[in-house]
A and B are shown apart, each in its own frame.
Chain A
């Protein structure tokens, strides 16, 4: 039987997703449900003086209106940061309370203060307009640069500083810088992004008054984690009385890792009003209240020799947490960012220092890539600047500093198990026709256009685990993953996974893996996820961890099935288990033609007897059934890597940047399904390119989000993108039996610096900040023209 791992199996999900038959949270309706509408702060920072609901309560169809007072009275807990980060001076990070409904103060536009439940959505909306909230408006802190000098937003958090974190050795870095021929300096902004999942957040709550069980259907990347937080920290209900289901979810990109205010409030309220509740975010609510991404200001320095060897690196960053610290909010700009900031290079000395600050803006958390795009942008921009200042080709300077032996001990944390950075960059160079660039540039110039080429080499630490490491770094939970594999008596298989698919196609990929392990046709394998009442437990999907952690749990559970099956087959075939081999779905006794299929073994395991005889196929001591589970905790992160090269053409008259060519060469280790991986790379690239050329969340001075709709927030569109030229190299991961590394975030990580390097190359090295919008580029073109005229 041919292996399915590595083949372009069409997605099992296609039928329902491409024909509009998906079943999303907002498709779920419970008889007798009420509709929730949240009343949100229109101010970025204010004290709540009074909330008057009297008029609204009398409005047609209103069932109840609840406020922060009610939720405080019932002692319902708030939202939390999942990682405890320590400052350089050893002190603990400082996090404010984040109640599900604000009681005393609001801290960003969109912060919920009350909620209306009514018989219809229109009635709930009308009543919400009648709720009068009396605010004392305070001066908002919105400028990241000034946040540490501004008023403290939260009582007791001086300078609005959550932590001042250091990774690395300042003294060693100083010594390295003292020896340098040249210091390259760079100031950059990593622009704030809004994730914009196609499906807005939603929840439907069904409280069973008899069993006192709450079922929460929600848009989550990790339903088990949501249940854990809602139970342990929210105190909404004990875990056994709380079922969280995340059915089809239309994209997360990190924004659906968090448990949000609305899920806690509606779960608590459903019990209180003894009615089911439905809440679906409007798009404006998504813009205002989904966790945002990125938002750093960085000063970086690279110490180099004249011939382009790197000696040391400094990374001084201010990271915006927004108003509150959320689940991955504190770790994204530290352990997911700092270690990767030295990139794919041998860097004898380095440190990353990050000050995370609070501002009166939406909370910032993990967004596709989470920390690693910011890190890669920093190092890859400064490496390009070094190449330019030293007069060295951008590919040559990278090659000079690549490690060539693996495992490679990366400067700050990671032990990179495998990789071949030289091969990846060489392949990208060839596929992109790097050597033909000069001719293409001439041609563009003849047409009055500027042309630039950009290179990026990246690695990332993903497959987020292992538990002992992440917990040592401050994570509040272990980041293993679990799976359960069940044979039915008639031979079909159900795979339960703790990973969650919100676009990643696990139903296909995971079935491919199980099909190979068990020798069962893929049609007979179903993958079930997203329901805390089904399967074992799960830590969810983020950080490109589904396959490298969750997928391996499936492999290991399958191996347990095969082991038990061997014993049963041996008994059935009257052979020693040691003589039974399993291959292509059959248990075969060595050097004989005696065999049983895995389906026959499964059947026998559930019917352990023969009529009129006391004879069982089960070996003594074995329990009936063929169900196994596994928890997998890998020995290390996984480390995908690659090199991307792109070319842009700029119209100096308008400043329009046309992305003309894009080549991506990635090493994801073993690829289970090339079709799906290519899709992941395409989507990742589009998001990374979006950050480089279009997307930019902007608040005004008073803290109003001025990009709160698609009229102003620029999403990348298909016609902004060229055909992507994809290539792959493969060095297998050594820390899991499949050799897989993860592919979900790579495109996003590499694309932003690749495009910006190309834009800045076209502008003759003139720095511009993210994103490279037309007016900025047009201004740069004008200045370039002036300076060229002067030089002439």
Chain B
């Protein structure tokens, strides 16, 4: 690992000010630190935001659940409020990584990294999330731009993620047998205003599957999906799952999710 300057920011303003094109914010460090150790990434400045109290915590209102950016997966998984308001979101958090990861990794870190196989981005899509940063609010649909790419600017810090509470929802994932990241993860949510099907793992970036949500809008049952053809176009292909298998699993896991709603 190359040497770097470590800063522990006391508030968001200081953290933002320290940021440059050669810096990284550090929350759980579940991706940043291994990348640095493996020599895949190096930074001049590491800006630790874990001590900023304002960034952590869970708030539930009548219509939304708002989770602070540095809230750990284990806190979401074990939160009584989240379990009550959006049980599928708590279950998703419970299924991330292993206990060590869940007790270090944060929701803000996960979505800022936008790993194509991460779980949380699918929740953001399915639950109409609004990403609150230190200077604006971004709709989830506009936030995730591509593989490891978001609309965040270099000095911009995620403060919280606000999720709509759906009428029904479920997240179902086919884990990679080795890494246990999602080969395919499908988050189905039925809102008063419509249905979202957030799909992660399958393509280079999370997406809302309009064919599936369209079919479910007419008839919210797994049989409604039977005749939807999920295209292999843009699907990832690797030693664990071909594009064809992934496309089929999107459908299979969407059905599982609908059945579990």
Contacts of B241 in A (CB 8 A): 774-775
Complex alpha-carbon distance, A706 and B239, angstroms: 9
- Tell me which of B48-56, B173-181, B195-203 binds A: B173-181
Given A775-B241, A775-B242, A715-B178 contact (CB < 8 Å): yes
Query: Which chain A residues numbered 696 to 717 have a C-beta less than 8 Å away from chain B?
Result: 698, 706-707, 710-715
The one of B1, B177, B179, B181 that contacts A774, using a Cβ cutoff of 8 Å:
B177
B interface residues, Cβ below 8 angstroms from A: 1, 174, 176-179, 181, 239-242, 245, 248-249, 252
Residue pair A653, B252 in contact (C-beta under 8 Å): yes
Which residues of chain A in 702-737 are interfacial with respect to chain B, using CB atoms and an 8 Å cutoff? 706-707, 710-715
Chain A, residues 258-295, CB within 8 Å of chain B (1/0): the string is 00000000000000000000000000000000000000
CB-contact partner of B177 in A122, A714, A778, under 8 A: A714
Nearest-neighbour CB distance to chain B for A459, whole angstroms, equals 32
B1: which of A122, A707, A713, A775 is its contact (CB, 8 Å)? A122
Which residue, B239, B249, B252, has most C-beta atoms of chain A within 10 A?
Answer: B239
Q: Which A residues fall within an 8 A CB radius of B?
A: 122, 653-654, 694, 698, 706-707, 710-715, 773-775, 778
Q: Is the CB of A778 within 8 A of B240?
A: no
Q: Is the CB of B177 within 8 A of A775?
A: no
Contact B179 A712 (CB under 8 A): yes
CA distance A710 to B179 in the complex (A): 6
In the complex the two chains form, is A775's CB within 8 Å of B245's CB? yes
Q: What is the chain A residue whose CB lies nearest that of B255? A: A653
Residues of B within 8 A of A654 (CB): 174, 249, 252
Beyond the given A707-B178, A775-B241, A778-B248, please list 8 additional residue pairs across the A-B interface where CB-CB is below 8 A.
A654-B249, A710-B179, A711-B181, A712-B240, A713-B178, A714-B177, A715-B178, A775-B242
Complex contact A710–B178 (CB within 8 A): yes
C-alpha gap A712/B177 in the complex (Å): 8
Cα(A715)–Cα(B179), bound, Å? 9
Pull 23 A–B residue pairs with CB atoms less than 8 Å apart, ordered by A.
A654-B174, A654-B249, A694-B177, A694-B178, A706-B239, A707-B239, A710-B179, A711-B176, A711-B178, A711-B181, A712-B178, A712-B179, A712-B240, A713-B178, A714-B178, A714-B240, A715-B178, A774-B174, A774-B177, A774-B241, A774-B245, A775-B240, A775-B245
A713, B239: Cα distance in complex, Å: 10
Pair A711/B177 contact, Cβ less than 8 Å:
no
Which of chain A's residues has its CB closest to B242's CB? A775
Residues on the A chain within 8 Å of B248, using CB? 778
Q: For A707, list chain B residues within 8 Å (CB).
A: 178, 239
Most buried by B among A712, A715, A775, A778: A775
Give A707 to B252 CA distance when docked, in angstroms.
27
Instruction: Give the distance to chain B from A710, nearest Cβ to Cβ, in Å.
Output: 6
Give every chain A residue within 8 A of B174 (Cβ-Cβ). Answer: 654, 774
What is the bound-complex CA distance between A706 and B174, given in angstroms?
A: 21
Interface residues of chain B: helix, strand, loop or mixed (majority): loop
Give chain B residues whose Cβ lies under 8 Å from the Cβ of A710: 178-179
Chain A min CB distance to B191 (Å): 27
A189 → chain B, closest Cβ, in Å? Answer: 15
Give the chain B neighbours of A774 by CB distance below 8 A. Answer: 174, 177, 241, 245
Distance in angstroms from A20 CB to nearest chain B CB is: 16
CB distance from B194 to the nearest CB of A (A): 27
- Within 8 Å CB of A775, what residues of B? 240-242, 245
Cα-based distance from A20 to B139 in the complex (angstroms): 48
**Known contacts A122-B1, A654-B249, A654-B252; is A773 also within 8 Å of B177 by CB?**
yes
Using a Cβ cutoff of 8 Å, how many contacts connect chains A and B? Answer: 38
Nearest chain B residue, comparing its CB with the CB of A775: B245
Q: How far is the CB of B178 from chain A (nearest CB, A)?
A: 4
B-side contacts of A694, CB under 8 Å: 177-178
| B239 and A711 contact, CB distance less than 8 A | no
Q: How far is the CA of A698 from the CA of B240 in the complex (A)?
A: 11
B-chain residues with CB within 8 Å of residue A715 when the two chains form the complex: 178
Q: Which interface residue of B181, B242, B249 has the most chain A CB atoms within 10 A?
A: B249
Of B1, B177, B248, most buried by chain A (CB within 10 Å of CB) is B177
Question: Which B residues are CB-close (under 8 A) to A653?
Answer: 252
How far does the Cβ of A771 sit from chain B's closest Cβ, in whole Å? 10
In the complex, chain A residues whose CB is within 8 Å of the CB of B242: 775
Q: How far is the CB of B80 from chain A (nearest CB, A)?
A: 26
Quote the shortest CB–CB distance from B37 to chain A (angstroms). Answer: 10
Q: Which residue of A lies closest to B174 (CB)?
A: A654
Determine the chain B residues whose CB is within 8 A of the CB of A778 once the complex forms: 245, 248
Min Cβ gap A139→B in Å is 22
Minimum distance in angstroms from B108 CB to a CB of chain A: 23
Nearest B residue (CB) for A706 = B239
- B238: nearest residue on chain A (CB-CB)? A712
- Residues of chain B contacted by A713 (CB below 8 angstroms): 178
Of all chain B residues, which has the CB nearest A284?
A: B38
CA distance A773 to B181 in the complex (A): 16
Report the bound CA distance from A775 to B249 in whole Å.
10
Closest Cβ–Cβ distance, residue B221 to chain A (whole Å): 17
Chain B contacts for A712, CB-based, 8 A = 178-179, 239-240
CB nearest neighbor in A for B246 = A775
A778→B239 CA distance, assembly (Å) = 15
Q: How far is the CB of B121 from chain A (nearest CB, A)?
A: 19
With contacts A710-B178, A712-B179 known, is A773 near B240, CB below 8 A? yes
Q: How far is the CB of A123 from chain B (nearest CB, A)?
A: 11
**B252 & A698 in contact (Cβ 8 Å cutoff):** no
Decide: A698 and B179 in contact? CB cutoff 8 A.
Answer: no
Nearest A-chain residue to B1, judged by Cβ: A122
Return the 8 tightest CB-CB contacts between A and B, nearest first.
A714-B178, A711-B179, A714-B177, A775-B245, A653-B252, A712-B178, A775-B241, A694-B177
Please indicate the chain A residues that have their CB under 8 angstroms from the CB of B1 in the complex: 122
Complex formed: what's the CA distance from A714 to B179 in Å?
8
Q: Which residues of A contact B245 (CB under 8 A)?
A: 774-775, 778
The docked-state distance in angstroms from the alpha carbon of A707 to that of B242 is: 16
Alpha-carbon gap, A714 to B175, bound state (A): 12
When chains A and B are docked, how far (Å) is the Cα of A475 from the Cα of B183? 47
Task: Determine the distance from Cα of A654 to Cα of B175 in the docked complex, in whole angstroms.
Answer: 11
Contacts of B178 in A (CB 8 A): 694, 707, 710-715
Alpha-carbon distance between A47 and B178 when the two chains are bound, in angstroms: 35
Q: How far is the CB of A435 from the nearest CB of chain B, in Å? A: 33
Cβ-closest chain B residue relative to A713: B178
Query: Quick check: B177 and A698 within 8 Å, CB to CB?
Result: no
Closest partner residue, chain B, to A651 (CB atom): B252
> Which chain B residues border A773 with CB–CB below 8 Å?
177, 240
- Chain A: CB-nearest residue to B117: A711
Closest to A698 in B: B239
Q: Could you tell me the distance between the alpha carbons of A711 and B178 in the complex, rounded to whole angstroms? A: 5
What is the minimal beta-carbon distance from B227 to any residue of chain A, in angstroms? Answer: 16
Q: Which residues of B contact A714 (CB under 8 A)?
A: 177-178, 240
Query: Which A residues are in CB contact (< 8 Å) with B176?
Result: 711
Q: How far is the CB of B186 from chain A (nearest CB, A)?
A: 13
Q: From A706, A712, A773, name the one whose CB has the most chain B CB atoms within 10 angstroms.
A: A712
- Give complex CA distance A773, B176 in Å: 11
- Which A residues are CB-close (under 8 A) to B239? 698, 706-707, 712
Chain A residues with CB below 8 A from B240, complex form: 712, 714, 773, 775
CB closest chain-A residue, reference B37: A282
Q: Considering the chains assembled together, what is the distance between the CA atoms of A653 and B184 in angstroms? A: 14
Complex alpha-carbon distance, A654 and B174, angstroms: 9
Complex CA gap A419/B13 in Å reads 77
Q: How far is the CB of A269 from chain B (nearest CB, A)?
A: 25
Give Cα A744–Cα B241 distance, bound, in whole angstroms.
34
Compute how far the CA of A715 lies from the CA of B1 in the bound complex, rounded to whole angstroms.
Answer: 27
B179 CB contacts on chain A under 8 angstroms:
710-712
Report the bound CA distance from A769 to B179 in whole Å.
22
In the bound assembly, the distance between CA atoms of A713 and B179 in angstroms comes to: 8
Closest B residue to A122 using CB positions:
B1
B26 vs chain A, min Cβ distance (A): 20
Smallest beta-carbon distance B30→chain A, Å: 13
| Bound-complex Cα distance A122 to B2 (A) | 8
**Across the two chains, which residue of chain A brings its CB closest to B241?**
A775
In the complex, residue of chain B having the shortest beta-carbon distance to the beta carbon of A707: B239
Q: CA of A710 to CA of B248 in the docked complex: distance in angstroms?
A: 25
